Amino acid sequence: MYTSLIRPLLFQLDPEKAHFVTTILGNALCSIPFAGPRLVQRHAQKWPQLEQELAGITFSNPVGIAAGFDKNGNYTDLLRFLGFGFAEYGSITALPSPGNPRPRLFRLKKDRALINRMGLNNAGAEAICHGIMRQQRQRPELFNGFPGGINIAKTHDPDITGEDAIQDYITSYRLAREPAAWITLNVSCPNTAEGKTFEDKTALKELLDGITSERNEKDPPLLVKFSPDTDQNTVHDLVSICEDCNIQGYVIGNTTTRRDGLRTPGERIEKIGPGGLSGSPLFAGTLRQTSYFRNILPPDRILIACGGIDTPDKAVKLISAGANLLQLYTGLVYEGPALIQKINQVLVDHLNKTGAPSLRHLQHLRQS
Ligand SMILES: Cc1cc2nc3c(=O)[nH]c(=O)nc-3n(C[C@H](O)[C@H](O)[C@H](O)COP(=O)(O)O)c2cc1C
């Protein structure tokens, strides 16, 4: 029904409006007192074989919504209804930001892809973290069994650099540590006004040293999100720096600034202009990086594969390559919510076929 009826209607709208309409309406419907929670309960399927505990967090299924979909932590009812096993809220930044001027989100239908230059629009770390904590206090059942990570980035302002940039991350970190099940440092947003990311050895080391000096035993696990555009030698060095700073996991990866191999005509791509490309064209790189990271990392590190997941088959490939969890965004736009249940069903079928009792056992099969 989504691809034949709802998607054609939504694709008549500007992409950002379509996102706004579906999330606001969908979440309002799922949070109507009494009826909403019943709807969510009835729809949400249980996948006992897919449940896993990672770094002390229980995930009911391995399919999560990627950062950027729910930047302000407002749509948890909807995300649970859709069948996701977890969410990553954000990116949040220390100061609120309206982001870049519109239009800033574009569909590349022929490539099943999006280009965005949202520019880290969000309501600011304080408002968002307090908002999530308020919901956690008032409606604990909403978050029970549905872990939410918070993704933090540097405020979108080219004048915030050097030590100020690190303090900016630290401000968000201090606010996020209480409501977050884990914190992801987004060091790879391609849509920054200064055109630079933290994927530079010195910059990353300074950032991680700054954050590490803030950390205490009770803090949630810390993950780092990399770009798919970093070459393997640099990735190797950056991971060594992360490992020295006790990073517990990695999200691989963010959107790409590359445009090669697309079916969409070059003139249209040029007309759209700068931004991060997401969706199907990312998949080959995501799979390559997943295998690479799993081979170089200690086995207990959390590996979240993200980029181009739009079929159950791709999900199986990433889990088989060593990902513990999956995140998607663009696949939801093109395939609709049925994709999440389809992925989980095919993962269960795959476990049954291989005789592996759990996702963790698939990793062991890969290593043996
Ligand atoms: C509109 C849009 C906004 C995004 N905003 C963020 C963000 O704020 N922080 C972040 O870490 N990633 C952001 N992303 C990247 C996604 O989290 C994800 O890494 C990327 O889209 C690849 O996954 P996909 O191919 O499943 O979409 C955004 C992606 C899109 C499409």
Range of the domain at 271: 2-367
Digit-coded pLDDT (tens) for 227-284: 999 999 999 999 999 999 999 999 999 999 999 999 999 999 999 999 999 999 999 9
Task: Give the pLDDT of residue 367.
Answer: 60
Q: Among the atoms of ligand 1, which is closest to the Cα of residue 114?
A: 31
- For the residues 57-74, what does the mean pLDDT come to? 98
Task: Give the pLDDT of residue 41.
Answer: 72
Task: Give the pLDDT of residue 364.
Answer: 64
| CATH code of residue 66 | 3.20.20.70
- The total of structural domains in the chain comes to 1
**Of all residues in the chain, what percent carry a pLDDT higher than 70?**
96
Q: Is any ligand 1 atom within 6 A of the Cβ of residue 197?
A: no
Digit-coded pLDDT (tens) for 92-117: 999 999 999 999 999 999 999 999 99
Mapped onto helix, strand or coil, the DSSP state of residue 199 is coil
Average pLDDT, the chain: 94
Digit-coded pLDDT (tens) for 10-47: 999 999 999 999 999 999 998 888 777 777 776 667 89
Task: Give the pLDDT of residue 365.
Answer: 67
| Whether the Cβ atoms of residue 310 and residue 281 lie closer than 8 Å to each other | no
Say what the alpha-carbon torsion angle 340, 341, 344, 348 is, to the nearest 10 degrees.
-170
Instruction: Indicate whether 332 pLDDT > 80.
Output: yes
Instruction: Indicate whether 195 pLDDT > 70.
Output: no
pTM: 0.97
Q: Is any ligand 1 atom within 6 A of the Cβ of residue 307?
A: yes
Q: How far is C-alpha 308 from the geometric centre of its chain's CA atoms?
A: 12
Task: Give the pLDDT of residue 318.
Answer: 97
Q: Which residues contact 83 (CB under 8 A, 6 or more apart)?
A: 43, 44, 45, 61, 63, 337, 340, 341, 344
User: Which residue's entry shows tokens 């574009």?
Assistant: 106
Distance separating alpha carbons of residues 202 and 185, to the nearest angstrom:
16
Q: Among the atoms of ligand 1, which is closest to the Cα of residue 122?
A: 8
Q: Is any ligand 1 atom within 6 A of the Cβ of residue 247?
A: no
Angle at 345 (CA atoms; ends 343, 349), nearest 5 degrees: 115
